[in-house]
Structure 1
Amino acid sequence: MKQLIALILLVGFFSACSDKPEKDNPKVAFYYWKTVFKLTENEKKALTENGTQRMYVRYFDVGLKGKEAVPISPVTFAEKPGDYEIIPVVYIKNEVMLEPTVKLQELAENINRYIGQMNTKNKIAWSEIQVDCDWTLNSKDRYLKFVTLLKSVSAKKMSATIRLHQVKYFNKTGIPDVDKGVLMYYNMGTIAADNQNSIYDREIAKRYLKSLKKFPLQLDVALPIYAWGIHIRDHKVIKLISKMDAALLEKDPHFKRTDEMYFQVVKSVIRNGNYFKEGDQVKIEAITKADLKTMAEDMSDNLAKRPDEIILYDLDTFNLTIYNDDQKFFKKVAGWF
């Protein structure tokens, strides 16, 4: 009996030691990726329930018009962000970095000025800029120089998104001069008619996990909570349709589920401006709660340091639907790191 009691106490001790205090868990943040900033009640609830204090708001894209870098689709603030800390995110198309006539100093100054004008207009304080760019070996030198220039011009903290391949091959792809990176743990595969989930594939992720400990930059983590549909005709992808999930198609008699990921169009129909022809297929790619748990556990075993923040992509009532019965779920995800 004494041995049994001792064993129970020992198990309890190690269980207690393995529990991480909630206050030490990574903070939960969200990306906001719409062109109009206006929170729905469901979005506000998700922010409140998960103790979110910070949102990463896409301010604008930067692309080319001719050979000139120009802002594209800037966000409009239909309401004030209130007490939330707003981090401006600028998505820069790689074509901009590949265009040798684009002057990087001027680009950095223009981006910083435009963010400042938007924040002044909307009375938003800012302490950080995040740059999102899927740079390549051909654009590496110019991109890394640009990030350094923007950091100097803005005199703000800087963060940058980092893809998995940029972690594994950082000696070749380079590391931007930023205060932290944000590992984008999604969009791992190719959008295709096959049965692979291009948003998240654990087998693909495993090829990169062991590299995380060697990456010399502090990493926070961005996780996906979105779903989309891939419209297939004659075994070829003809369109990617955002905000589409299995629940929508299961209620529609024009579609019939054929397996876990696929629906067959049994009768031609137009839905939300998309024409689905009889015989077409729709492949649904989505992220489950189990997927998020697996992601967190896999990364927690491999990251060099526990992340300070988990950022969910992205805050949208449609994406939150499957979490409505458990609004604090994202705090649980953070606790798994």
Structure 2
Amino acid sequence: MKHKLHLILIAAIAIFYFAADGFADSARSDGSFLGYGQSFKRDSTNVSNAIYHWRTTFNPDSTELSFLRRHNVKRLYIRMFDVEYGEDYTSKFRNVTPTATTKFESAIPEGIEIVPTVYITLEALREMDDFSYRYAELIVERILAMARYNNCGEIREIQFDCDWTATTRHIFVSLCREAKEHLQQKGIELSCTVRLHQLREMAPPVDRAVLMLYNTGGLKSPKTRNSILDVKDVVPYLRNQETYDIPLDLALPTFGWGVKFRDGKFDKIVADGASDSLKENEYIRWERPTIEEILFVRQLAERVLGQSERGNILYHLDYSQLSNYTDDEITKLYSFN
């Protein structure tokens, strides 16, 4: 009941924000929409349910393989490695270097397209300034070598994930431009993630992007209700947003965690449901978006930006997290209205 009342309140806020462009006529208090300001057509042959895999070991268990089959998941975004600025174990000097490389202990499930993904830290990105051509080729070739070695099948797309800022955007743009040129020679597309704060910047020079509709609030702030997803944090970013320069898919959160505070200050993230003995000066803020919140935010984004031509993406393949949502709820997240 508490979550539903919160959602109704936020729906009212959204109506206020968007009243000027007719949003109020289409929004209902249950978070659904009567119609869109414009129609979005989709070729059903291009639609593929997708999900991220964000672990350092690829070894999906029977429940996760069953999830992929039940929900007809045909595209899997696998984090291959991170790119960080740290000590290079070969030279012992600080350098831009790959870390946390995923180990493949299971074969890729049959009939699933793999999109290799790399996470690039902001510190590493800064160090790439003036050397993006070099690092673009190194990153791309390492991704493709890993994909070949682990029998990932035909690679049609790779993805860069980076929380770039206004002051580092030019470096990320240069990195993407160089990588795209390198990939075009191989007939492979380049995509990137987009966070809400990046949405109003000009799109990077990639073929398509994925809008991350999660991690929307201040994780370390004790005033935050839910840092994973809170509608009131999303609405301001979409206000006055028109379209995006390139095709945009949506990534939706299906996970939760605990945020531990000590003496009113952020301490650490704890595993969802983990028992942690607390002292008097400590508490844990448990976070998990409800299905109503996720659907509302998805519909809000679709209202402003249009629906994805390829289908929605869930984050991420971990059945201990996914099991908090029913099969019917997962189907709703993947379905189109």
Q: What is the TM-score normalised by the length of structure 1?
A: 0.79
1:138 matched to 2:170? The reply is: no
1:145 is aligned with what amino acid?
A: S
| CA gap 1:228/1:177 in 2 versus in 1, 3 angstroms | same
2:3 matched to which residue of 1?
A: none
Cα distance in 1 between the residues matched to 2:307 and 2:252: 17
Match of 1:70 among 66, 84, 97: 97
- 2:245 counterpart SS class: coil
The Cα of 1:62 is off from its aligned counterpart by: 0.2
- 1:276 counterpart SS class: coil
1:88 matched to 2:116? The reply is: yes
The Cα of 1:106 is off from its aligned counterpart by: 1.6
Cα distance in 2 between the residues matched to 1:302 and 1:138: 27
2:150 matched to which residue of 1?
A: 122
2:230 matched to which residue of 1?
A: 201
**Larger mean Cα displacement after TM superposition, 212-221 or 175-184:** 212-221
1:262 matched to which residue of 2?
A: none
1:297 is aligned with what amino acid?
A: Q
Q: 5+ residue gaps in structure 1?
A: 1-13, 250-270
Q: 5+ residue gaps in structure 2?
A: 1-33, 87-92
The answer to whether the Cα contact below 8 Å between 2:121 and 2:162 also exists between their aligned partners in 1 is yes
Cα distance in 2 between the residues matched to 1:208 and 1:26: 27
2:295 matched to which residue of 1?
A: 293
1:190 matched to which residue of 2?
A: 218
Match of 2:192 among 144, 150, 160: 160
The Cα of 1:78 is off from its aligned counterpart by: 0.2
Counting only pairs closer than 5 Å after superposition, residues 172-183 of structure 1 correspond to structure 2 as 174-183=202-211
- 2:136 counterpart SS class: helix
List per-residue Cα deviations over 1:123-158 (Å, max 9, x = no partner).
222111100001112211111011011111233101
Cα distance in 2 between the residues matched to 1:31 and 1:138: 28
Runs of at least 4 residues off by over 6 Å: none
1:31 matched to 2:52? The reply is: yes
| CA gap 1:103/1:194 in 2 versus in 1, 3 angstroms | same
Cα distance in 2 between the residues matched to 1:304 and 1:321: 29
Cα distance in 1 between the residues matched to 2:262 and 2:72: 44
The answer to whether the Cα contact below 8 Å between 1:33 and 1:315 also exists between their aligned partners in 2 is yes
| CA gap 1:175/1:240 in 2 versus in 1, 3 angstroms | same
- 1:29 counterpart SS class: strand
- 2:115 counterpart SS class: strand
| CA gap 1:320/1:153 in 2 versus in 1, 3 angstroms | same
- 1:81 counterpart SS class: coil
Cα distance in 2 between the residues matched to 1:100 and 1:312: 30
1:333 matched to which residue of 2?
A: 333
2:67 matched to which residue of 1?
A: 46
Cα distance in 2 between the residues matched to 1:202 and 1:124: 37
| CA gap 1:35/1:112 in 2 versus in 1, 3 angstroms | same
**Larger mean Cα displacement after TM superposition, 23-32 or 39-48:** 23-32
The answer to whether the Cα contact below 8 Å between 1:38 and 1:78 also exists between their aligned partners in 2 is yes
The Cα of 1:278 is off from its aligned counterpart by: 4.0
- 2:83 counterpart SS class: strand
| CA gap 1:44/1:140 in 2 versus in 1, 3 angstroms | same
1:314 matched to which residue of 2?
A: 316
Match of 2:246 among 217, 220, 227: 217
Q: State the superposition RMSD in angstroms.
A: 2.5
**Larger mean Cα displacement after TM superposition, 136-145 or 192-201:** 192-201
1:109 is aligned with what amino acid?
A: E
List per-residue Cα deviations over 1:234-290 (Å, max 9, x = no partner).
11111112x314xx55xxxxxxxxxxxxxxxxxxxxx4xxx6324421110111111
1:107 is aligned with what amino acid?
A: Y
Cα distance in 1 between the residues matched to 2:84 and 2:121: 6
Cα distance in 1 between the residues matched to 2:192 and 2:128: 22
The number of aligned residues is 288
Cα distance in 2 between the residues matched to 1:213 and 1:336: 21
- 2:324 counterpart SS class: helix
| CA gap 1:321/1:82 in 2 versus in 1, 3 angstroms | closer
The answer to whether the Cα contact below 8 Å between 1:187 and 1:200 also exists between their aligned partners in 2 is yes
